Structure 1
Amino acid sequence: MLERLLTALILATVTCACGSGAAQSGAAQSGAAQSGAAQSGAAQSGAAQSGSENADTAGGGPAPAGLSADDHVAIRNLAGRYSQALDLGDPAAWAEVFTDDGVMEMVAQGYEIKGEALRSLPRDGEPSRSRHIPTTFVIDGAGDEATMRSYVTVVSTDDPARIVFQGRYEDRLRRVDGRWRIERRRILTDWIDSAVAEGVADAP
């Protein structure tokens, strides 16, 4: 994050008891100092404005606006829609989560699924026996592009219920036709239950 250096101009009034001439001289020097400070401030202000204009025009125009509060809410809802579509076996809702060229990568397992193959999951429409719980969102971006980092815990709903996966999502997002979608999701494994390691592809 860029930090702005704040500067303060401190004007000291020197009091002299050596006669009126010395006092007047001190006052004149103080006035000159104030005048110089004012001119310096004006020059700095002009330079700042010029720099801002140059920054806007250097790339052909102003930079895209940052994400709004509504964007943050929509992106968090996207994370929830991903989990519910997967857990409840809703193919139509799942297809709406990703862009047409979306990619999902399982980093530790060394594979990825993309495009239509990704958007066609889940195939059978049957609810899964797991619940994906995303938390701790960090969202950044501007315009129609964003990134999101989050933690995820997967809980098996079998009896007895237990945690079967803990990891992280690293997402690249894009706004398409007014809706945020996942362009690429990287899934990083922190821990996985050995009994379900072979079937992790069924619970991304």
Structure 2
Amino acid sequence: MTDEREVQEVLAHYVRATDRRDGKAQGALFTDDATVQIYAKSTAGDYEPVGEPLVGGRGVEYAVANFMPPHPPGGSSHHTTADHLVEVDGDRAHLNAQFIVFEVRPEAIRPIESGYYDTDLRRIDGNWKIVRHHVLMDVPVSR
């Protein structure tokens, strides 16, 4: 498998863990000192940080367990990613991909979020890990 494909698969595991609300699996994709920041698009079209950054895989695991609402009975979410731009330079990589999140309920499926994932990774002991992850939301996030 190519380095580019391995990097792309990290994002595939990330969105699947998010959909399952599996903080342990999602946190395992990050280094201990990784930073994760959500940004909301302003009316001027630039991005502003929302809240404080998460730090490390443990921070990600904690956030999934404590801040993401559980799915209601019969409900789920479904992330899709597209247009992956991957650059690899030795043991460092950059990934940028568009995303859409769908809310799945017994009565309907509807898009609820979209934006870009902008992510830096590093190969550590043969495995790609996320060291910086920015979630660039298309719609302003309430503060």
Establish whether TM, by shorter chain, passes 0.5. Answer: yes
- Provide structure 1 residue ranges, at least 5 long, that are not aligned to the other structure: 1-68, 200-204
1:179 aligns with 127
With structure 2 as the length reference, what TM-score do the two structures score?
A: 0.77
2:46 aligns with none
Report the aligned-residue RMSD: 2.3
Amino acid corresponding to residue 89 of structure 1 in structure 2: R
Q: How far has the Cα of 1:198 moved from its partner?
A: 4.8
Q: Number of residues paired by the alignment?
A: 127
With structure 1 as the length reference, what TM-score do the two structures score?
A: 0.56
Q: Where is the strand percentage greater, Structure 1 or Structure 2?
A: 2
Please show how residues 21-36 of structure 1 align to structure 2 within 5 Å: none
Q: Output one character per residue of 1:25-44: Cα deviation in whole Å (capped at 9) or x when no partner.
A: xxxxxxxxxxxxxxxxxxxx
Q: Output one character per residue of 1:2-27: Cα deviation in whole Å (capped at 9) or x when no partner.
A: xxxxxxxxxxxxxxxxxxxxxxxxxx
2:118 aligns with 170
Query: Does 2:62 align with 1:120?
Result: yes
In 2, Cα distance between equivalents of 1:79 and 1:133? 10
In 2, Cα distance between equivalents of 1:126 and 1:165? 15
In 2, Cα distance between equivalents of 1:132 and 1:99? 23
Structure exhibiting the larger radius of gyration computed from Cα positions: 1
In 2, Cα distance between equivalents of 1:117 and 1:130? 21
1:151 aligns with 98
Identity %: 25
1:140 aligns with 87
Q: Where is the helix percentage greater, Structure 1 or Structure 2?
A: 1
- Provide structure 2 residue ranges, at least 5 long, that are not aligned to the other structure: 41-48
> Which has the bigger relative contact order, CA under 8 A and spacing at least 6?
2
Q: Is the CA contact 2:34–2:132 (under 8 Å) kept in the aligned structure 1?
A: yes
Q: How far has the Cα of 1:89 moved from its partner?
A: 2.1
